[in-house]
Amino acid sequence: MKTLSCCGSLVLLLWILMIICTPCKVIAQEFAVITHKNVEEPLEGDDIKHIFLGQKTRWNNDASIIFVLPADRELCNAFFKTYLGKSYTQYLNYWKKQVFTGKGRMPVFFHDEQELLMFVAQTQGAISFVSRQHADKAQVNIMTIIQEEGF
């Protein structure tokens, strides 16, 4: 009986280790912050947060910031967790509250990353993010985000 209990515990431990050690698609997914070619200012993590929460609406040159989002929920969730400290659902709820209180409009989502890339490439002041493999330096700026201490 002890052998059966020991084997059961070992199987459970191996199962837990397998789950913990299996790479998660969301964690492994890389994204690139992209902007229109006319955006040349450096961006910090806080800038990204303020832009995608609608709190920063102008670039340093006073041009309007237009942010759009990919419809890929996993990509958005990874991005929002990294830069905004929010889940996908928390982000949508934030924007629903902004709309309900008259403080903002819901962000525009693109279902096709190529269409999103074209929009950013053709719209002055535009910013978004895409999966790294779809970022095209010929069309858009691929931004390097300056991480602040403790971010």
Q: How confident is the model at residue 142 (pLDDT cuts 50, 70, 90)?
A: very high
The total of other beta-carbon atoms located within 10 Å of residue 144's CB is 10
For residue 110, name the pLDDT band (cuts at 50, 70, 90). very high
The whole-number pLDDT of residue 114 equals 93
Question: What pLDDT is recorded for position 4?
Answer: 47
Give the model's pLDDT for residue 27: 39
Structural domains of the chain, with CATH:
25-146 (3.40.190.10)
What is the pTM for the complete model shown?
A: 0.77
Scan for tokens 């779809």, then name that residue. Answer: 134
**Predicted confidence (pLDDT) per residue in 4-32, tens digit:** 455 556 555 444 544 444 443 333 348 89
Element (H, E) at 131: strand 126-131
Res. 83: pLDDT tops 70: yes
Could you tell me which residue, 97 or 10, shows the higher pLDDT? 97
Residue 31 DSSP SS3: strand
Please list, in sequence order, all residues whose beta carbon lies within 8 angstroms of the beta carbon of residue 43, skipping any fewer than 6 positions away. Answer: 33, 143, 144, 145, 146
Please, are residues 104 and 65 in contact by the beta-carbon 8 Å criterion?
Answer: no
Of 11-20, 41-50, 102-111, 113-122, the one with minimum mean pLDDT is 11-20
The answer to whether the CB of 79 falls within 8 A of the CB of 129 is yes
pLDDT, position 45? 87
Give the DSSP letter string of 61-122. TSPBPEEEEES-HHHHHHHHHHHTS--HHHHHHHHHHHHHTTS--PPEEES-HHHHHHHHHH
In this structure, what DSSP letter does residue 7 have? H
pLDDT at residue 125 greater than cutoff 70: yes
Mean pLDDT in residue range 117-146: 92
Query: Is the Cβ–Cβ distance between 68 and 116 less than 8 Å?
Result: yes
Angle (CA) 132-82-139 rounded to 5° is 30
